[in-house]
């Protein structure tokens, strides 16, 4: 066939109206690489695709449905009656176009089963690896959890032992505290009894001292020695002033009897019409009593009751007119140390 004849058969090929011989000849011509025939075939195929859209729709006959339903279960055709198709020597109409112009939808490839098998194997391998990985991780986590549980059990046992030890120590501490309170109460009672015994002993000693003093004291020196041995007697030293630098004295005060003893030494003798007067100075001087120092006498003992002795700040002895004065008027001979 000439080129012109083949080109004239392109529209019939696009519509599928060529016989086998003409179709094979045109396909061989297209496979040889004729560009004009390729372009014409594409144009005619586009037009052929639009031909069904130009037909007017018609209603199917009413018996079509029954015919189709009856044809769904046709009688089986015997195997012997099936004609054997001869081998096709060439491509069917339009099959060769799959090699020249790929269709819009991807054609089924011969390698698709291999690809699906490879993908299946890959998925199975990845799934197996993930399953192994998860199993191994789960085993590791299980081992860690068991170790933690064992450690927790050990710590719980140790904590229980510590709690028991703390309870025992608390019990022992409570017993020691009770025993200490009991001992403190016993010590307080013993201390109170001891204080009572000391008070009784002190009273006995004071009474004995008074009895001894009443019986044996004959001189001021003996009186002074006896008073100094009494624990609750307070002593205040007196020193001589510039008027009598060699003079000295002691004031002894018994808080129980509230008596004051003045023991003076080396005071000058009293001139005619004068007397020595003892003063306890609070906010203002208060007279305690008067005494005389005669010629040749070097010591003197004066005993007076002074309830406010503890309130006095200073003590002094002055030389006053006979009978004494409400306030000091003469020179001071003895003064207490502040």
Based on the domain organization, do 120 and 204 belong to the same domain? yes
Determine, yes or no, domain membership for 74. Answer: no
Q: Kindly provide the residue ranges of all beta strands, DSSP E only, lying in the chain, ordered along the sequence.
A: 233-240, 248-254, 259-265, 274-281, 285-291, 299-305, 314-321, 332-336
**Does some domain include residue 68?**
no
- At 303, list the tokens: 């005993």
71 within domain boundaries = no
Residue 316: the pLDDT is: 92
Domain tally for the chain? Answer: 3
170 and 270 both lie in a single domain: no
Residues 169, 185 within the same domain: yes
Spell out the residues 6+ positions from residue 259 whose beta carbon is closer than 8 angstroms to its own: 253, 303, 304, 305, 306
**pLDDT at res. 170:** 93
User: In sequence order, what are the beta bridge partners of 198?
Assistant: none
- Select from 216, 249, 271 the last residue of a domain: 216
Same-domain status, 272 and 203: no
Query: Given this model, what pLDDT does residue 70 score?
Result: 75
Let me know whether 11 and 36 are in one domain: yes
The C-alpha atoms of residue 55 and residue 283 are separated, in whole angstroms, by: 148
Confirm whether 40 is domain-assigned: yes
Looking at residue 104, what is its pLDDT? 47
- Domain extent for 271: 228-336
| One domain, residues 94 and 115 | no
Are residues 100 and 174 both part of a single domain? no
In a domain, 141, yes or no: yes
Q: Are residues 197 and 258 in the same domain?
A: no
Domain presence at residue 223: no
Task: Retrieve residue 333's tokens.
Answer: 């001979």
Question: Which letter does DSSP use for residue 17 in this model?
Answer: -
Q: What is the pLDDT of residue 72?
A: 64
CATH number of domain containing 40: 1.10.10
> Quick one: 124 and 147 in the same domain?
yes
Of 183, 216, 249, which residue is a domain's last?
216
Same domain for 139 and 237, yes or no, is: no
Does 186 fall in a domain?
yes
**Same structural domain, 186 and 249:** no
For residue 319, the model assigns a pLDDT of: 92
Q: Does residue 178 form part of some domain? A: yes
Long-range contacts of 285-293 (CB under 8 A, 24+ apart): 285/316, 285/327, 285/328, 286/312, 287/324, 287/325, 287/326, 288/260, 288/262, 289/262, 290/320, 290/323, 290/324, 291/262, 291/264, 293/264, 293/267, 293/268, 293/269
Shared domain for 103 and 116, answered yes or no, is no
pLDDT score of 199: 83
Consecutive sets of 10 residues in the chain, 338 residues long: mean pLDDT of each? 84 83 86 87 81 67 74 55 49 50 48 69 81 88 91 91 92 92 91 85 75 54 69 84 88 82 88 91 87 81 79 89 91 85
Of 91, 107, 123, which one is at a domain's C-terminal end? 107
Phi, psi (degrees; rounded to nearest 5) at 128: -65, -40
């Amino acid at each position: 066939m000439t080129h012109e004849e083949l080109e004239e058969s392109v529209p019939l090929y696009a519509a599928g109206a060529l016989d086998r011989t003409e179709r094979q000849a045109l396909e061989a011509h297209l496979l040889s690489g004729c560009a004009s025939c390729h372009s014409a075939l594409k144009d005619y195929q586009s037009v052929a695709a639009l031909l069904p859209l130009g037909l007017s729709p018609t209603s199917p006959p009413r018996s079509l449905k029954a015919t189709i339903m009856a044809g769904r279960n046709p009688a089986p055709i015997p195997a012997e009656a099936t004609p054997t198709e001869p081998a096709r020597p060439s491509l069917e109409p339009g099959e060769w176009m799959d090699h020249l112009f790929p269709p819009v939808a991807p054609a089924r490839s011969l390698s698709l089963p291999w690809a699906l098998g490879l993908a299946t194997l890959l998925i199975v391998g990845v799934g197996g690896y993930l399953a192994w990985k998860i199993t191994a991780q789960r085993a590791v986590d299980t081992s860690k959890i068991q170790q933690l549980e064992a450690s927790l059990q050990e710590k719980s046992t140790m904590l229980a032992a510590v709690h028991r030890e703390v309870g025992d120590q608390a019990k022992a501490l409570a017993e020691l505290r009770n025993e200490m309170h009991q001992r403190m109460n016993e010590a307080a009672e013993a201390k109170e009894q001891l204080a009572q015994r000391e008070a009784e002993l002190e009273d006995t000693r004071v009474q004995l001292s008074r009895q001894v003093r009443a019986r044996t004291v004959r001189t001021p020196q003996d009186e002074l020695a006896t008073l100094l041995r009494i624990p609750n007697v307070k002593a205040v030293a007196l020193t001589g002033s510039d008027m009598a630098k060699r003079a000295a004295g002691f004031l002894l005060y018994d808080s129980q009897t509230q008596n004051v003893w003045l023991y003076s030494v080396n005071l000058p003798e009293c001139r005619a019409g004068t007397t020595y007067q003892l003063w306890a100075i609070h906010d203002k001087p208060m007279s305690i009593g008067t005494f005389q120092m005669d010629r040749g006498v070097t010591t003197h003992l004066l005993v007076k009751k002074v309830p406010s002795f503890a309130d006095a700040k200073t003590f002094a002895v002055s030389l006053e007119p006979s009978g004494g004065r409400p306030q000091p008027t003469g020179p001071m001979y003895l003064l207490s140390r502040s």
